[in-house]
Amino acid sequence: MNFFEPKPKTNFDLIVDIPGSKSITNRALILSALSGETIFLKNILLSDDTIYMIEALKQLGNTIDLNENEKTLKITGNKNPKFENLNLYVGNAGTAMRFLASYLATGSGNAILYGNNRMNDRPIKDLVDSLSELGVQIRYLEKYGYPPIEIQASGVKCPVVEIDGSKSSQYISSILMAAPYFEESITIKFIGKIVSKPYIDMTLSMMKDFGAIFKKDNRSVLISPSLYKIESYTIEGDMSSASYFLAMALISNSKITLNNFFKHSIQGDSKFLDVLVKMGLKILNFSETSITVKGIEDYSGISLSMNDIPDVAQTLAAVALFATSPTKVWDVENMRIKETDRISALKNEILKLNGIFLESQDGFEIIPKSVSEYVGTTLETYDDHRMAMSLSLIGLKVPNIKILDPQCVSKTFPNFFNEFSKIYREDLK
């Protein structure tokens, strides 16, 4: 399938099972590997990013038994791994690249971490600088500050390290998760403006569940040597993946039930629900693990910093096209170093629609038009799963939309377009 062609559709009912969280799955895999214990993971996500992580961990001596039908995984971790001349390929999986770097630092040996061409354009210098400060020897193999990198590890013994979190919170999460397996207590200090801070909070919450011992304040965490030890861990539904169906309900004035949507989620992107509620989305029912929402005929735009939730800014852009007033987003400059430069990509595609998109360095403003003023066209996805999923929502209102290369959603939500297409099945009966 080279393109997906959504058709205009409103006022429908839909039930969707949200897949497990990519962010939580990859964190749980790293924490389990570090533990050296046998841990049972439930509701895992199987997607490109998590499969790259699983395969790399197998190469590093972790024993992994996967049940794809049950979405469960049993992992016997290999703490303080020993490795020699390993080549670990992670595609365009940022979490795998960054988290594996610190996992390797707890062991001994040499390994190369590398990815696809886009990964080689995504900066890693801030993480490398911090790992180097910890005594890990790291060499850039091509371009300074970017993958691929070669790591020579012999364990970590260092009382303090600084990490710049202004480009990605994943640098901080990477070292946080590995720190209990360093040789002595360490204070991890955050410098710079931290983006996506809720992901750091999520990392610390999971570390606590797995048994880590630490003390934290706003700008640092003191972590003592401790052991991760837990029998099983259930992975929440992915709130980033849920965002598309919450947005679908509002755009199409429809009723949608999302299963595997955790009411007390540890994911920052759960805040996107609050954003849409402010715009007009109605919550009809909210249980511990599911939610039912309903859109409205006309809804307003919104202005906000999305520094905490940049991964759902594209979803909001699709919603904004059909609002009754402008939407302005700022504090999301790190969107430019994701799978693609997402701000520029949004501008390119929304202008094709005859939309109004005002670009700034750290955000954008969308001034909506009436649906009849938009032009149906073929939209590029830039090999970016979030571009594909968010742009597909436009087709609920605008005819003749085609989404190119829809298979790129396999990065986090392989079944997305099957779930999307459920809204048309009533028409085929």
Q: How far apart are CA 358 and CA 99, in angstroms?
A: 35
Closest to 353 in 3D by CA, of 388, 402, 296, 314: 402
Mean pLDDT of the chain: 96
Amino acid identity at 389: M
- Residue 48 binned pLDDT confidence (cut-offs 50, 70, 90): very high
Distance from C-alpha of 115 to C-alpha of 52, rounded to nearest angstrom? 10
Average confidence (pLDDT) over 53-59: 98
Name the pairing type of β-strands 108-114 and 82-89.
Answer: parallel
pTM: 0.94
The dihedrals phi and psi of 4, each to the nearest 5 degrees, come to -115, 135
Q: Per-residue pLDDT tens for 382-406? A: 999 999 999 999 999 999 999 999 9
Which residues form the catalytic set? 311
| Residue 280 and residue 296 in contact, taking contact as beta carbons nearer than 8 Å | yes
Q: Tokens at residue 343, please?
A: 């701000």
Matching residue, tokens 């990477």:
174
Distance of CA 402 to the CA centre of its chain: 25
CA distance 36 to 106: 12
Q: 51-56 contacts: CB < 8 A, separation 24 or more?
A: 52/89, 52/90, 52/91, 52/93, 52/96, 53/25, 53/26, 53/29, 53/90, 53/93, 53/95, 53/96, 53/99, 53/100, 54/29, 56/88, 56/89, 56/90, 56/96, 56/100
If 0-12 CB within 10 Å is exposed, 13-18 middle and 19+ buried, where does residue 359 land? Answer: middle
**Domains in the chain with CATH codes:** 3-19+237-428 (3.65.10.10), 22-234 (3.65.10.10)
Residue pLDDT, tens place only, 191-236: 998 999 999 999 999 999 999 999 999 899 999 999 999 999 999 9
